[in-house]
Amino acid sequence: MSTLPADAIEHFVAKWHRREPEMALAEVFCAPEQRSRFRAWGALVHELREAAFELSDARVTAVKSQWWAEELLNLSQGRGRHPISAELALPALPWAALARALMEQAQFDARPGDAVQALDQVRGFASALAQVEAGVFGGTPAPGATQALAAHLLLQRLPAGLAGEDQARLPLNLLARHGLTAAQVAAGQGEALLRDWARELAAALPAPDGPLFRRLRTRFDRIRLDRLASGKGFAPPAAPLTVWRAWRVARNR
C-alpha cells in the first residue's frame, strides 16, 4: 500500500464515531498498542455495513460492495488501497470469505417474516465478520459472536433504514401485528412496534464475550435496545454513564 498521511484514517473513524459515539468514549480502555487496530476495525465494519445495507441506489450499492470486496481480497495479500487497510493488512485472516459474504449480503433483498428470519438473513455476513474480527484481535470467535453481530447489524438499520428500500428489515409479522406499514413506522407512528422489535433483538443478543471490541459493542447494543424497548428512543445514554459501563466491561465486571 502507498504511504498515506498519518491522519488519513481519521475521516473514516469520525464517520464511525458519529454512528457509534459510545465506542469513541470507550476506546480509552483499549490497550494503547491495540488502539489503532481497534479504531481501524470499527471504521471498516462501518464502511462494510454501509456498503451492504445503507446506500439508497442499488447501482451504487453494487459498485461500492464490489470495491470493498476487492479491497478485502487485497488484505488477504497483505496490502490495500484504503486508509483503513494499513492497520488491517493481515494475510492469514479469512478476508476472502468476508468478501464473498459482503457481496452476497449486498444482493439480498428478501423481507423477513419474523425475528428468526431477520437474524438468519444477515447471519452469513455476521459470521464472516466474527471470524475476521477474532483474528484481528488475536483470538478465536466467541460462541455468541455471530449472533451478537447479527443483532448489531439489525439494530444499526434503525432508525434511518425505516425509510430505506429494505425498510430496516422489520419483520412482516410485527407490521401485521400492529397493523402498520413500514412507511407509517418511518413517519413516527410505530413506537409500540419498535419497542416490540427492540425486545426481540435484545432477547436474541448474547452476553458480551470475545475481544474487548465486541464485548463493548454488545454491551452498548444491549443498552440501546433496552432504551428503545422502554420508549426512550434511539439516542445513546449520557457520556458519563457510557464511560462507567465501558470501564466495567474492560474490567470484566
pLDDT tens profile 137-178: 998 889 999 999 999 999 999 998 998 888 899 999 999 999
User: DSSP characters for 196-214?
Assistant: HHHHHHHHHPPPP-SSHHH
Query: Considering the domain boundaries, does residue 205 fall inside one?
Result: yes
> Using alpha carbons only, what angle is made at residue 115 by residues 109 and 116, rounded to the nearest 5 degrees?
90
> Using alpha carbons only, what angle is made at residue 112 by residues 109 and 117, rounded to the nearest 5 degrees?
115
Domain extent, residue 31, equals: 10-250
Q: How many domains does the chain have?
A: 1
The domain spanning residue 133 has which CATH number? 1.10.600.10
Query: Considering the domain boundaries, does residue 5 fall inside one?
Result: no
pLDDT of 13 over the 80 cut: yes
Looking at residue 171, its amino acid is P
Q: Which helix (H) or strand (E) segment is 166 a member of?
A: none
DSSP letter for 20, please.
-
pLDDT over 70 percentage in the chain: 97
Query: Considering the domain boundaries, does residue 204 fall inside one?
Result: yes
> Phi-psi category of 208—alpha, beta or left, where left has phi over 0 and alpha has psi -120 to 50?
beta
Query: Considering the domain boundaries, does residue 3 fall inside one?
Result: no
The reported pTM is 0.94
Query: Considering the domain boundaries, does residue 75 fall inside one?
Result: yes
How many other C-beta atoms can be found within 10 angstroms of the C-beta atom of residue 92?
A: 8
Residue 150 pLDDT: 98
Query: Considering the domain boundaries, does residue 138 fall inside one?
Result: yes
How many other C-beta atoms can be found within 10 angstroms of the C-beta atom of residue 232?
A: 12
